[in-house]
Structures are given as structure tokens and as C-alpha cells.
Chain A
């Protein structure tokens, strides 16, 4: 089955700096890669996703890049703000394989003033 690794496990940045979280996946057939933000005790919230037919996607301060050959994808947050502090999870899924999401281990992002 799919295996998703995520690094780093914790990330501390100064407000206004950029944050980058990286994930690798094992199943080359996976074709959908969402990123979720989860605050303590809350549901995961989709912040951005990318499909395997594109290499990059951007939404305001958030961007995701995908390298299918290397089987890794990354989340980039620019101009970080204190409200960006949360746990971020990457995930991988295969349409036609039941759309099961395999999650990474999570990254605790702390944006310091």
C-alpha cells in the first residue's frame, strides 16, 4: 500500500518568513495530493490540493509543487502569520482505488512574533 513520509515534524519560523514542508510517497500510481491544516481538537481543513497532471499550484500565500518522477511534493507558505500556526498534514490518494487518503505524519508549524 501507499506510504507517505513527511518532514519536518516541527517547524518554527518568524512571522513574515516562509515555511516549507516536504512529503514523499511510495505508490507511483497515486494521483491526488491534498494538504490539510488541523488546529487542536478540530477537523482537518483542506488548504490546497494538486493533481498529478500539474506540477505546481498556487493560492495566494500557499503553493504546492509536485515532482512525479521523484515522488515528492511540497507545501510552501509565504509571509507566514501567527494564525498559520497549526499541524499540517500531507496526503496521497489514488482515484479508482477507493480514493483512500494516506496521511503523512504531520508537521507542527509555529509562527513566532
Chain B
């Protein structure tokens, strides 16, 4: 149980295009999902907290118009990187918190984004 998937696992795109990343909780309901970015050999940095049915809460310094988050159901959150640029190239990881537990987060396998 407690499986989180992400799609796609890898994406390469041209500068200026938009990329959508999906995060799904496969066997539990997640009222809250989190989006992280991880640069090579660095830690995970929280970008935003995604709440089902409401607007996402962004961390300081994260552009909400550039990183669009939608949490339309209890099992799906999406992150859209709009007008991507090479500096947006990174490893994006989502996590989900089971509504039935107070603490643990379950991580997706990550999406490697490369912007040319």
C-alpha cells in the first residue's frame, strides 16, 4: 500500500514550451500533496503544498505563475512548468500524505526534466 506514481519519468523539451507532470496516489486518498525540486547532489526543496479542491500554497521564492499546480481530485495533483527554460532543468518529486495518517509522506519516483 501507499504507492505514489509520477508521469512522465523523464522529459526533454525545448525552451519556451510547457511541461505537465502528474502525481498520483494509487491506493490511498491524499488530501495533501507536496512538490519538491532537487538539483544534482542537493537536497529536496519544497516548492508548494497542494491541497485538494483549493489553491496551492507556494514556498517563498517559487513563482506561482511559472509552476502551476492543480489538485483536482484526492488521487491526482499536477505540476505544469510554463515557458520552461534551461535553468528549470531539475528532478521534480512529489509526495502524498495519506489522509488517514498524520505524519508519513510517500514519495513518487520523480521526473527528470531537461530543457534544451
B-side interface residues, number (CB < 8 Å): 23
- Find chain B residues with CB under 8 A from A49 CB: 103-104
Contact with B along A99-113 (1 / 0, CB 8 A): 111111110000000
- Bound-state CA distance A65–B105 (Å) is 20
Please tell me if the beta carbons of B93 and A98 are within 8 angstroms of each other in the complex: no
- Bound-state CA distance A42–B112 (Å) is 10
In the complex, whether B54 has a CB less than 8 A from a CB of chain A is no
In the complex, whether B77 has a CB less than 8 A from a CB of chain A is no
- Bound-state CA distance A45–B104 (Å) is 11
- Bound-state CA distance A99–B43 (Å) is 18
In the complex, whether A51 has a CB less than 8 A from a CB of chain B is yes
Please tell me if the beta carbons of A43 and B108 are within 8 angstroms of each other in the complex: yes
Contact partner, A103, options B32, B44, B49, B112, Cβ 8 Å: B44
Given the interface contacts A42-B109, A43-B93, A43-B110, does A51 sit within 8 Å of B103 by beta carbon?
yes
Chain A residues within CB distance 8 Å of chain B: 32, 34, 36, 41-46, 49, 51, 89, 93, 95, 98-106
Chain B residues within CB distance 8 Å of chain A: 32, 34, 41-46, 49, 57, 91, 93, 95, 97, 102-105, 107-110, 112
